[in-house]
Amino acid sequence: MDTKNIGLRGIPVADTKISNIDGEQGKLIYRGYDILELTKKSNFEEVAYLLLHDDLPTKEELKDFQSRLTEARWIPKQMQINMGNWRKDADPMDMLQAFVAALAGYYDEEFSNKEASYDRAINLIAKVPTIVASWQRIRNELEIIDPDPDLSHAGNFLYMMTGEKPDKEIEKIFDVCLILHADHTFNASTFAARQVASTRAHMYSASSAAIGALSGELHGGANYEVMRMLLDIGSEDKVEEWIKKRMDAGERVMGMGHAVYRTYDPRAQVLKELSRKLAEKTGDPWFKITEKVEQTTIAEMKKRKGADIYPNVDLYSASVYYMLKIPMDLNTPIFAISRVVGWAAHIIEEKFAEAAPKPALYRPKAVYVGKYCGPQGCEYKSLDLRND
């Protein structure tokens, strides 16, 4: 068996028109557009439209799309009441997974109609931020903030979470973060969404499954672990000692290295500059500590193994979110606020793909390595004949 392909590493499973990664060159493409150009010239709503529809919108299309997103931000009051019955210390990702699945109880799901799936996508993209913000208010026993139709997708979430309207610079920084996290080909959560969608399950079920995959520390939970690392280090002068001890123990440095990129993750490039900008604005030390972590890990990896290693998206996103005053345990739900766009696009593509011939249902093959008693199987013995 070829062990390098365990876990489907490197195995093509389907065609997609949504995004592409060039791991050697460090490029991420959304529907043909370079992510670096989109972060400079676009906004999250426009990128969401692009990922769903395979092209940038016209002025009228964007205006209509933004209007529909704004109208769909509200969630049922009963859902917010039900949130109040949860433990206040419950994991926000467990909450999000449960209430995204619960949306199916409030809204119909059309199975065969592609246009109806776009409606469901808009409903999902608009409501996930409201679910997360509502939970943040409820668990802290604060009054729920209703959506503000005059604010952007990014600005409205920050407002609903904090009760304060962000300044334009903060709003733009968060908007760029949402663009960067919107899609990343067949990562674990997106593949989970597509796998569930391949059974013809509806969009809310497929997205709920994706949230479950995203919750793990090796996927969406990684930036939470990065921030824990930075807090543990505490100051720039302690970085080298901390990293060396970590590597001496054979443990990984969170936020460094990637399964696909063999050079600098393009998203990390942008987030590094956002972290630098926020540090200048706030006076916080987190950018300098993070940069020192990057430099030390690269140097140590080169010295110890003669290998190159680079930051991934999580290294600098941790400090960015922390300086935006986002609670650490909301880092991964905020990842979901953005990535739900990619999930929805992939679910629609999986259900209504016109291009790639593939079986309707994902069904990978397992390699059995369990007990073997011969071609006829093991002999079953009654309970009184088995040895104690």
Rounded mean pLDDT of 87-113? 88
**What's the whole-number average pLDDT of the chain?**
93
Class of CATH domain 8-219+327-352: mainly alpha
Rounded mean pLDDT of 249-259? 92
- Whether pLDDT at 291 is above 80: yes
pLDDT band at 101 (very low <50, low <70, confident <90, very high): very high
pLDDT band at 218 (very low <50, low <70, confident <90, very high): confident
pLDDT at 112: 62
SS3 of 213-278: HHCCCCCCCHHHHHHHHHHHHCCHHHHHHHHHHHHHCCCCCCCECCCCCCCCCHHHHHHHHHHHHH
Taking domain 222-322, whether its CATH number is 1.10.287.3510 is answered by no
Residue with the bigger pLDDT between 12 and 185: it is: 185
In this predicted model, what pLDDT tens digit does every residue of 357-379 receive, in sequence order?
666 788 888 888 899 999 989 99
pLDDT at 110: 56
Q: What DSSP designation does 147 have?
A: P
pLDDT at 222: 85
Kindly state the tokens that stand for 275: 């972290």
Rounded mean pLDDT of 33-37? 97
- Whether pLDDT at 384 is above 80: yes
Residues with catalytic roles? 219, 258, 314
Which residues in the chain are classed under CATH 1.10.580.10? 8-219+327-352
- Whether pLDDT at 299 is above 80: yes
In this predicted model, what pLDDT tens digit does every residue of 115-148 receive, in sequence order?
889 999 999 999 999 999 999 999 999 999 999 9
Which residues in the chain are classed under CATH 1.10.230.10? 222-322
In this predicted model, what pLDDT tens digit does every residue of 322-331 receive, in sequence order?
999 999 999 9
Rounded mean pLDDT of 207-214? 97
Q: How far is CA 259 from CA 24, 218, 219, 266, 298, in A?
A: 12, 11, 11, 14, 16
